[in-house]
Amino acid sequence: MLLVPLLVALFLLVLLGFYVVVAAPRNRAHQTFAAFIFCLALWAVKDIALWEFGTRAGSAGWWAKTSFVLALALQYSLVVFALVFPEDRPVPARRVAAIFSPGAVFVPATLAGLMWDQAGFTGGHFSIRLTPLAYAFGFYIYVVFAYGFVLLYAKFRAYRGQLAAKQLGAIMWGLSVTVALMTATSVLLPLAGVYSLLPYASVFFLPGVVVYAYAVSNFKLFSLQSALDQFRLFPLAYKVALAIAAVAVTSFFVLQVPIVRWSFGAGATPEAWKRYLVFSVITALVPNLILVALVIRIITRPLRRLTEAAVEVAAGGYGAQVEVASNDEVGLLASSFNEMSRKMADDIERLRAMGDQLVRTEKLAAAGSLAAGVAHEVNNPLASISSLVQILQARVPADAADEPTAETREMLRVISQQIARITQVLRDMMDFARQRPPLRAPLDVNRVLGSSLRLAGFDKDFKRLVLSTDFDTSAPLVSADADQLQQVFLNLLLNARDAMMPAGGELRVSTCHDARAGEIVVEIADTGTGVAPEHLAHVFDPFFTTKPAGRGTGLGLAVCYGIVTAHGGRIEIAPNDGRGTRVIVALPTRNEDS
């Protein structure tokens, strides 16, 4: 009947120690408390070994030696724990060395058997007769315990009102209960010659363990105080430990027990031992292979996937994702890796767009300087040429019918037309070069867009288009220059007209308010010839045009880009579902507080 409660005590101690050390393996407080629990577990093991299997002569000697050494180890671990908990501070080596130094005498004396004159079983009853050195040893143990307890009490007072105080209070209660019961059963009663409760000493660990378990569940004692808590993880170490325990227990009952019964059914003969050793080795391969498979499934496979994804990202595959769905640290690592990879891809794409915008801005600035210089240098001689042509036209009689005079008059007319064309190009270049800062004021984009549509409607080709509009009347105002925005919209509308000539087509103009992005989005979509994919990256470059010679200078979209970006907005061109072009102009909404 004694074996069952001893095994229960041992099982609970192992579970508690395992939980504490796995919760934070590198935490000093966790390490020392786990060492304390480990010593208690060893105490239970030695009691099981003596009281259940060790009643032979000589067995009491090693039991007594183990008891003295473990008692000292328990106090040492308690002192170290009291020094480092709850701050997880470094262990003060000098102070610890001074407190522990008597152990350098007591431990060798214990191992040499100097703590007792006689220990063993007499008539089936255990008895031990201690030496004066044992009493000195016992006094030293209680002094060390008192020192550790005083340290815990001082910290309990210092942290009063905090969670750490509740944790320390629970620990002191557990220690008090455990030490009181252990002192009664292992010290006071044996000194009085009563040894009947000595075999139950390990069972009296259970009240202390219950107190610790209560502190763990209610005061978060030795819980995972880390970022992992918020994800409600099942730690990887727990999974591996449970897998090992499950395989070990299952293989014991499924394989080892039948082998023992088969091997020793006829007695413990040499042949039986031979069968047992051979088949135990053979069957040990099965649980080992199962453990390998479980470890591969729990750890190796998800780590391999993570490694492959990391290598892909390192090779430039930004945005690579890894499919690992598990509620442990590897699953959290995979989720964090996926988020990092997505953000990296987004950041790189954003940097690329910013780089393109910077290059385009530099091109606009350089082209503006070039355009201003060219226009200035060409305007003066062109004005002189225009004046001379007008003088020549005045000298040619308008009613002369002879062929040479009529031919001269036609040539002068063509020259005047080409001069007017050159003048218009120079005027466009000067407008491009002299972009003024926007004169911002609260503005309704729908109103400016409607005005631009009315102006474009005076064009006879524009009237041939099938126009549809969808304006967001609830859209807020923007802070913008009305004239400049009208220039942008009118340019885009006429470009859409040119793209659909001569066959005509459908033009859709819409506005909407993107409250999340804080901007008004204007969309102008046509069903014209569209823009080739290889041209999309250059449509805003100065002097780039896909129109036939003489139909455009390639400055219209560059001017639109400059105006929109000067307003803090963005302009984009994309295919219109394979039926033309879609131009998007996004302008930030007006800040009411400004």
**pLDDT of 488-507, one tens digit each?**
888 888 888 888 888 888 99
588 Cβ neighbours under 8 A, 6+ residues apart: 478, 479, 518, 519, 567, 568, 569
User: Is pLDDT at 556 greater than 90 in this prediction?
Assistant: no
How far apart (Å, rounded) are the C-alpha atoms in residues 286 and 250? 11
| pLDDT for res 383 | 76
**pLDDT of 501-547, one tens digit each?**
888 889 999 999 988 888 999 999 998 888 877 777 777 776 667 66
- Listed in order, the ranges of the chain carrying CATH 1.20.1070.10 are 3-225
Asked whether 496 and 581 are in contact (CB, 8 A), the reply is yes
- Listed in order, the ranges of the chain carrying CATH 3.30.565.10 are 438-588
How far apart (Å, rounded) are the C-alpha atoms in residues 336 and 400? 89
Q: Which of 247-256, 408-417, 427-436, 559-568 is the least confident region?
A: 427-436
Asked whether 233 and 329 are in contact (CB, 8 A), the reply is yes
Rounded to 10 degrees, the C-alpha dihedral 249/250/253/259 comes to: -110
Of the candidates 486, 505, 484, the residue with the CA atom closest to the CA atom of residue 562: 484
Helix (H) and strand (E) counts in the chain = 19, 9
- Listed in order, the ranges of the chain carrying CATH 1.10.287.130 are 346-434
Question: What's the whole-number average pLDDT of the chain?
Answer: 81
Asked whether 490 and 455 are in contact (CB, 8 A), the reply is yes
As a whole number, mean pLDDT of residues 549-553 equals 55
**pLDDT of 192-228, one tens digit each?**
888 888 888 888 877 887 887 777 767 667 654 444 4
| pLDDT for res 274 | 85
Amino acid letter, residue 571: I
455 Cβ neighbours under 8 A, 6+ residues apart: 486, 490
CATH number of 3-225: 1.20.1070.10
User: Is pLDDT at 563 greater than 70 in this prediction?
Assistant: yes
| pLDDT for res 487 | 83
Asked whether 465 and 505 are in contact (CB, 8 A), the reply is yes
Of the candidates 64, 63, 17, the residue with the CA atom closest to the CA atom of residue 40: 17
346-434 sits in which CATH class? mainly alpha
Asked whether 151 and 79 are in contact (CB, 8 A), the reply is yes
| pLDDT for res 437 | 67
**pLDDT of 408-423, one tens digit each?**
777 878 888 778 777 7
User: Is pLDDT at 472 greater than 80 in this prediction?
Assistant: yes
The CATH topology of domain 438-588 is: Heat Shock Protein 90 (3.30.565)
